[in-house]
C-alpha cells in the first residue's frame, strides 16, 4: 500500500495575505497559474506578501480545460523561466493542470484552492480532458501538492453552488466506497480505514454545513467552517491517499466521466453530475422507499436533485453513456452487483430518472 499526502495542509482566514511566508520555503522564483478573473480578484491580497519576501513571480493565465497540452505549456514556461515552484490558485481544473506540469518540470506545486468543489487540491491524481471538456483519463502524478493552503474567507465568499458541489462529491466517497465492505477481505485494513474516514466526513457535512454558511455570512469562520473544509478537502482527499491498487467506485464517478461526452451537460459541476450518478446507484442497489426518500431530501437540501432533462441528456445519449461505463468500468459494477450489461446500465439510468421526476412532482 502507498500513502501519498501533501507535506502540509493549512486552513485559516486570510492566508492569501501571507502567501510569501509559505512560498519562500520552495524558492524565490515562482509562477502562479490562475484564471484572468482569479488574478483580478486575488492579486492585491497576495502581491505584497510576495514582494516582502523578495519572491519574483510570473503570471500564467489559464483558460480551457486540464489537458496534457496545457500542462506541457505551463511546464515549458516554468523551465524556460527557471521557475522553482508552481502556485495553483483556483479551482480543480487549474490545480489539476498545475499538478501535471509540476510532474513534467519536476518542481513542487502549492495548491491554493479558491473554491471547495472537489478534493483536487489534496489528491495526487489529475483528471485530464480534451479541448472540448470530454474526460480522457486519470493521470497519476508522482506526488501531491507540497502545500495545501486554504483561505476560509475566500472559500466562503464564493457561490454556495461550489461548496454544495463539494459536499455531494464528498458524500460520494461514502456512498461509493462503503458497499465494498460487503465483498472485501475482513483483514483489508486500508478499505476499513477509508470507509471510516468517508463516514465521518459524511456526518460532518450533514451536521455542520448549514452552521458554517450561516456564520460565514456574518464574517465568522470558526470550527464549523474548518470542519466543513476539512471534510471536503482533507478527509475526502485522504480516502484517495491510501493506495491499495484497487479502485473503489460505484457508478457515480463513472457516470460523470461518461457524461462529459455530452457537451450540453458540461455546464453542470462535477459534484452536481456525481449527485445524479449517486441516485442511479441507489436505484441499482434497489434501495427501499425510505432510503430513496431520505437520499433525495438530503440532496435537495444541497440543491442537487437533477434529471436527464436538466442535464441536457437524451435517451439516445444515455445509450452512449452506458456503453462508455460498461467498456471502462464494468469491473466495479460487477463487484457491487450493480449491473451485468450495458443494457442494464442504460435501463437503470432511465428508470432512476423517472423515479426522480416523480419525486420532484410530489415534493416540488
- 33: domain CATH number? 3.40.50.1970
Helix, strand, or coil here: 36? helix
Rounded to whole angstroms, the Cα distance separating 122 from 238 reads 8
**Are 139 and 278 members of one domain?**
no
Per residue in 92-130, pLDDT (tens digit) is 999 999 999 999 999 999 999 999 999 999 999 999 999
**Are 7 and 146 members of one domain?**
yes
First-last CA distance in the chain = 47
**pLDDT the model gives residue 148:** 98
Per residue in 243-266, pLDDT (tens digit) is 766 788 999 999 999 999 999 999
Helices (H), the chain: 19-23, 36-52, 68-80, 92-105, 152-157, 160-177, 189-217, 223-229, 236-239, 252-259, 270-284, 289-301, 308-311, 315-335, 342-363
**Are 153 and 257 members of one domain?**
no
Percent of the chain with pLDDT over 90: 94
Rounded to whole angstroms, the Cα distance separating 180 from 195 reads 9
The answer to whether residue 234 is domain-embedded is: no
Q: Identify the CA nearest to 65 among candidates 83, 84, 31, 90.
A: 90
**Are 16 and 144 members of one domain?**
yes
**What band does 133 get if pLDDT is binned at 50, 70 and 90?**
very high
**Are 7 and 152 members of one domain?**
yes
Where a domain ends, among 157, 190, 217?
Answer: 157
The answer to whether residue 119 is domain-embedded is: yes
Instruction: Please give the mean pLDDT across all residues of the chain.
Output: 96
The answer to whether residue 262 is domain-embedded is: yes
The answer to whether residue 187 is domain-embedded is: no
Number of domains in the chain: 2
Rounded to whole angstroms, the Cα distance separating 119 from 91 reads 10
Reported pTM: 0.96
**What band does 188 get if pLDDT is binned at 50, 70 and 90?**
confident
**Mean pLDDT of all residues in 325-351:** 96
Per residue in 64-101, pLDDT (tens digit) is 999 999 999 999 999 999 999 999 999 999 999 999 99
Rounded to whole angstroms, the Cα distance separating 144 from 125 reads 8
- Contacts of 229 by beta carbon, 8 Å cutoff, 6+ apart: 11, 116, 150, 152, 155
Where a domain ends, among 116, 134, 157?
Answer: 157
The answer to whether residue 61 is domain-embedded is: yes
On the question of pLDDT at 268 being above 80, the answer is yes
Bridge-based pairing of strands 147-151 and 109-113 is parallel
Bridge-based pairing of strands 2-3 and 242-243 is antiparallel
**Are 137 and 256 members of one domain?**
no
The answer to whether residue 88 is domain-embedded is: yes
The answer to whether residue 194 is domain-embedded is: no
- Contacts of 60 by beta carbon, 8 Å cutoff, 6+ apart: 31, 32, 33, 34, 74, 77
**pLDDT the model gives residue 286:** 96
Based on C-alpha coordinates, what's the Rg of the chain? 20
**Are 123 and 270 members of one domain?**
no
Helices (H), 138-188: 152-157, 160-177
Rounded to whole angstroms, the Cα distance separating 341 from 339 reads 6
**pLDDT the model gives residue 186:** 65
Rounded to whole angstroms, the Cα distance separating 192 from 186 reads 9
- Contacts of 29 by beta carbon, 8 Å cutoff, 6+ apart: 55, 56, 57, 81, 82, 83, 84
**Are 135 and 274 members of one domain?**
no
**DSSP code for 1:** -
Where a domain ends, among 129, 157, 185?
Answer: 157
Domain enclosing residue 260, as ranges:
249-364
Question: Where residue 255 sits, what CATH number does that domain have?
Answer: 1.20.1090.10
The answer to whether residue 202 is domain-embedded is: no
**pLDDT the model gives residue 189:** 86
Amino acid at each position: 500500500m502507498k500513502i501519498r499526502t501533501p507535506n502540509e495542509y493549512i486552513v485559516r482566514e486570510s492566508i492569501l495575505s501571507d502567501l510569501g511566508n509559505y512560498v519562500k520555503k520552495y524558492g524565490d522564483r515562482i509562477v502562479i497559474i490562475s484564471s484572468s478573473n482569479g488574478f483580478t480578484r486575488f492579486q492585491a491580497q497576495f502581491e505584497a506578501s510576495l514582494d516582502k519576501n523578495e519572491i519574483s513571480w510570473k503570471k500564467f493565465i489559464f483558460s480551457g480545460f486540464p489537458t496534457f497540452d496545457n500542462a506541457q505549456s505551463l511546464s515549458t514556461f516554468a523551465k524556460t523561466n527557471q521557475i522553482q515552484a508552481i502556485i495553483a490558485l483556483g479551482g480543480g481544473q487549474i490545480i489539476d493542470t498545475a499538478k501535471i506540469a509540476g510532474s513534467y518540470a519536476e518542481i513542487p506545486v502549492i495548491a491554493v484552492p479558491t473554491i471547495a468543489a472537489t478534493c483536487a487540491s489534496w489528491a495526487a491524481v489529475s483528471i485530464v480532458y480534451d479541448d472540448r471538456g470530454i474526460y480522457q483519463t486519470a493521470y497519476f502524478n508522482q506526488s501531491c501538492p507540497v502545500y495545501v493552503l486554504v483561505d476560509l474567507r475566500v472559500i466562503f465568499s464564493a457561490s454556495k453552488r461550489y461548496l454544495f458541489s463539494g459536499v455531494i462529491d464528498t458524500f460520494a466517497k461514502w456512498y461509493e466506497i462503503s458497499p465494498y465492505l460487503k465483498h472485501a477481505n475482513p483483514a483489508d485494513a486500508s478499505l476499513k480505514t477509508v470507509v471510516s474516514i468517508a463516514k465521518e466526513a459524511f456526518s460532518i457535512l450533514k451536521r455542520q454545513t448549514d452552521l458554517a454558511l450561516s456564520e460565514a455570512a456574518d464574517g465568522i469562520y470558526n470550527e464549523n467552517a474548518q470542519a466543513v473544509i476539512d471534510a471536503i478537502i482533507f478527509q475526502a482527499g485522504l480516502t484517495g491517499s491510501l493506495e491499495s491498487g484497487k479502485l473503489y467506485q460505484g457508478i457515480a464517478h463513472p457516470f460523470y466521466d461518461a457524461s462529459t461526452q455530452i457537451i450540453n451537460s458540461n455546464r453542470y459541476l462535477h459534484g452536481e453530475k456525481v449527485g445524479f450518478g449517486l441516485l442511479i446507484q441507489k436505484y441499482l442497489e434497489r434501495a427501499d422507499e425510505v432510503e430513496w426518500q431520505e437520499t433525495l431530501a438530503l440532496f435537495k437540501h444541497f440543491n442537487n436533485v437533477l434529471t436527464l432533462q436538466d442535464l441536457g441528456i437524451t435517451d439516445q445519449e444515455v445509450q452512449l453513456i452506458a456503453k462508455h461505463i460498461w467498456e471502462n468500468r464494468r469491473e466495479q459494477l460487477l463487484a457491487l452487483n450493480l449491473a451485468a450489461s450495458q443494457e442494464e446500465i442504460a435501463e437503470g439510468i432511465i428508470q432512476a430518472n423517472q423515479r426522480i421526476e416523480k419525486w420532484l412532482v410530489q415534493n416540488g
